[in-house]
Amino acid sequence: MRPGARPGQSSEARGRRMATKARPRPASAEAAASSQDDIGVEARVVAGVLLNAALEKRNGLDEALSQPAARALAPVDRAFARAVAMAALRRLGEIDQILDRRLQKAPPEAVRTLMRIALAQTLVLETPAFAAVSTAVKLAERDPKTRPYKNLVNAVLRGVGRDGPGLTTAESNLPDWIAARWRAAYGEAALVGLALAAREEPATDLSLKPGVDPAAVAAAVDGEALPGGTVRTGRRGDVATWPGFEDGDWWVQDAAAAVPARLLDVKAGETALDMCAAPGGKTLQLAAAGAAVVALDRSAPRLKRLSQNLERTGLGAEVVAAPAEDWADVRTFDAVLLDAPCTATGTFRRNPEVLRATRPADVAKLADVQHRLLDAAAERVKPGGRLVYCTCSLEREEGETQIVAFLRRNPGFRTTPADPAAVGAPAQALTPEGWLRILPSMWAEKGGLDGFFAARLERVS
């Protein structure tokens, strides 16, 4: 299967169901691999550590990457470990479906991890089956806790390679409670689209400084220009080495994440406040439009990246590290952008771990934070000014419900309808209220985009 392909090749006729046949590997390649023994073993160990860390808590994968075991790997091995863990996270439900059909009873979690990692390699990343299986057996053998199961690991993985994975369902990759929420909110057809989007590794999107030609950047990075001016590329690797980075021509920002700042529609000479500004893509957009921007965030460490990007791009903003609700400054602004802390379930294409680490209680907890931040943002808007509220969540409590409640509390504000074409959003994202509800399954023919909710409000003079 190609990189990014699905466990169980999708069939248009079946819609939600897939099937794949294992492909035989040349005997000569297997013989060559047998002479390389433990090359890549430690990378696979770290892949398992990353997978389990991501399943245990939010930010677990990033924290595990900073630990000595991951840092000790060569860069290419560390990148491989991360790629394997991400592939396993994206297809976890399908991988477990495949395993459960071959297991009479549940093995210890450490054994399941070994098999998950091996199947992520063979079914998603096209690692030769003999290499993935051989390494999984070696890993099982060297740990006393998994050693008794090495024959089981070998039999299950070789069985999948011999017989193929069988039918799997994309929806199985979504936790049951999230699938139920999304089905109720968006319908069955949308749920299928979201599940399919959750499998795919996304491309990299670039936002450009004014005056930089999207066609020229697209040609330089082997990409394409999207509506709104974003450039999308399938290029991988260190973005700092890409054409235009050192010149400050662009910054990395998902196409959907670029929509809220465009929706705010700041003009040169206006004042703008970007609340919860880090990591800073929207601040750069506002500054590039010519506004006098204050970038506010409670996290000084996260603001360092914003400051670095301001310096690299030659753009300017006043950077302030302070909690938005308690900021003592009395200034008001022509335009205020609140990208509120949220469950981030709309970013599952880039961060598949959010679907596993998020809990139902998190939605209500963060909704309360958003409520307070919205009221704080409203106080910063001048009469006649604009407020854009957005979250990268697919949960209505963090989007539509927040705005309905806010408008009831604040009769001095009203909705100003969005124009999807003008802000580079999918046309189907426009809600009857004039807000934007972007689903990752939209623009599927272009490779999708992150999920976002955004609403523009005006303070009546």
Active-site residue set: 392
Reply yes or no: is the peptide bond before residue 411 cis, omega within 30 of 0.
no
SS3 labels along 158-214: HHHHHHCCCCEEHHHHCCHHHHHHHHHHHCHHHHHHHHHHHHCCCCEEEEECCCCCH
Provide the token pair at 147. 């050693």
CA–CA separation, 328 vs 323, rounded Å?
A: 9
| Helices (runs of H) and strands (runs of E) counted in the chain | 19, 14
Count CB-CB contacts under 10 A for residue 79.
15
Q: Of 277, 329, 324, 328, which is closest to residue 305 (Cα–Cα)? A: 277
**Which 3-state string (H, E, C) describes 297-366?**
ECCHHHHHHHHHHHHHHCCCCEEEECCHHHCCCCCCEEEEEEECCCCCHHHCCCCCHHHHHCCHHHHHHH
Contact 42, 77 (CB under 8 A): yes
Task: Return the closest-CA partner of residue 341 out of 297, 385, 291, 386.
Answer: 297
φ/ψ of 386, rounded to 5, equals -120, 150
Q: Is 451 in contact with 438 (CB distance < 8 Å)?
A: yes
For the record, the structure tokens of 53 come out as: 């860390």
Residue of 448, 262, 205, 239 lying closest to 346 (CA atoms): 448
User: How big, in percent rounded to 5, are the helix, strand and coil portions of the chain?
Assistant: 50, 15, 35
What's the rounded Cα separation, in Å, for the pair 71 and 81? 11
Q: How far is CA 357 from CA 233, 361, 380, in A?
A: 29, 11, 34
Distance CA 322, CA 319 (A): 10
Comparing C-alpha atoms, which of 356, 278, 310 is closest to residue 93?
Answer: 356
Q: Are 352 and 86 in contact (CB under 8 A)?
A: yes
